[in-house]
Amino acid sequence: MYHNLEPLEIFEPFSFKNFLHSFTAGRHHCECQASKHELVNNCVQCGRIVCKQEGSGPCLFCGNLVCTPAEQREINQKTKASAALAEQLREKGRPRGWEAAVTHRNRLLEFDRTSERRTHVTDDDSDYFSSNSVWLSASERERLGRYQQSLHDKKHAGRLSKKINFDFAGRQIVEDTTIEHEVDEDKIREMTSARASHAGFDTAWFGGGAADRDVAPGVNSELLQFDPSVETYSSITTRPGSNPAVLRVQDPELQEMCDDGRCLSMHQPWASLLVEGIKMHEGRTWYTSHRGRLWIASTVKPPDQEVVRALENQYRALYPDKQIEFPKFYPTGCLLGCVNVDDCLPEEEYQKKYPNGESDSPFVFICSHPVSLKLRFPVKGQHKIYQLDKTIHQAAVKCIQKMSKIQADASG
């Protein structure tokens, strides 16, 4: 008798789908978001989607307890069995190597935080001074040489030059151990920075007189005749009583185009009225040479409502033909916008130019082109005109550029 023996399938045929949905024993990280494995629950603290591969227990991201709805209902019963289940789930630790990974992460963050300090380059040559440096003048070399010799004499002085203090009241003898042969950096800086009125610089670059004019090579300078009415730069700078500050180039157009982040803090409601274009003349007791863009910030002092109403009525009376829209609120302690300072007039000149002007201060800023920021940045004000923080200044400039682009697109 023969039996028909069918072949037994010992191994299950390979399936790529089964391979993707494979399950590993234990709790392991899985980023499938319950698309490959069965959903356990969402972490209520960080929102992580926990699948069956990660299992019930502490969240592998934040450590909050995550369990299935059935386990959660059992835990909510507040019985001994539920307490034991909650304790059992909390004892499920993180996967193997978690502590080492966290330690490695903290070490990398520490390296990144201290990279600037660890990569600092120290130039040993800058820690010392040399009296034979090629960048020193003859007088500076002489002064440094004498100073270096005095330090050498103090360092190698004999015992007879030591100072001893006799304290008769305390009945003790104190030896003066003050180190006097150490290099004084301030004294070295004073010796090397005090140039003799930059005589060498002026002579090398601008010459000493009319005979030192630039002449092309190969040209006989004796045959050249220069106009005696034209003065050279050296004759102007060496003239008795000449002030170098007066000789500097002052270009108002260049100052108006530049924005170096200068800011003025003002009380409310005057600050908002200025950036909104309602108030164009700002009075001060001091003069300023600043021209161009001036940022306006409000102080932290809240405005008085009676003062606000009085100012609004004043500007309605000054400009009856204009339909003035006053700000609905006056924010404090923030950057409001900017204006252009066209001029700073003294009181007499201002009264002649603007007989019905709104200010009677000793000096008046004539402003134009007010711009009010839509996004207000908190700032801490200072006295008079001060330098704005670079980060806030850059953010405010970008805000104005974006506002200009939106207005251009709307008008186009």
Cβ atoms 48, 31 nearer than 8 A: no
DSSP string, 166-232: EETTTTEEEE------S--HHHHHHHHH--STTHHHHHHHH-SSGGG----TT--GGG----TTSPP
Q: Identify the pLDDT of residue 49.
A: 92
**Smallest Cα–Cα separation from 364: which of 279, 284, 252, 269?**
284
Q: Identify the pLDDT of residue 95.
A: 65
Give pLDDT < 50 ranges for the chain.
8-12, 14, 16, 19, 126-127, 195-214, 233-234, 237-238, 244-249
Cα 114 to Cα 94: distance, rounded to the nearest angstrom: 30
Domains within the chain, CATH numbers bracketed: 30-90 (no CATH), 253-411 (2.30.130.30)
Q: Which amino acid is at 193?
A: S
Q: Identify the pLDDT of residue 240.
A: 52
**CA 405 from centre of chain:** 26
| Residue that is written with structure tokens 């002026």 in the block | 202
DSSP H or E segment with residue 406: helix 390-411
Q: Identify the pLDDT of residue 165.
A: 74
Q: Identify the pLDDT of residue 54.
A: 85
Q: Which long-range contacts (CB under 8 A, 24 or more apart) does 45-48 make?
A: none
User: Is 337 in a helix, a strand, or coil?
Assistant: strand
**Smallest Cα–Cα separation from 268: which of 191, 222, 333?**
333
Q: Identify the pLDDT of residue 208.
A: 46
Cα 268 to Cα 242: distance, rounded to the nearest angstrom: 45
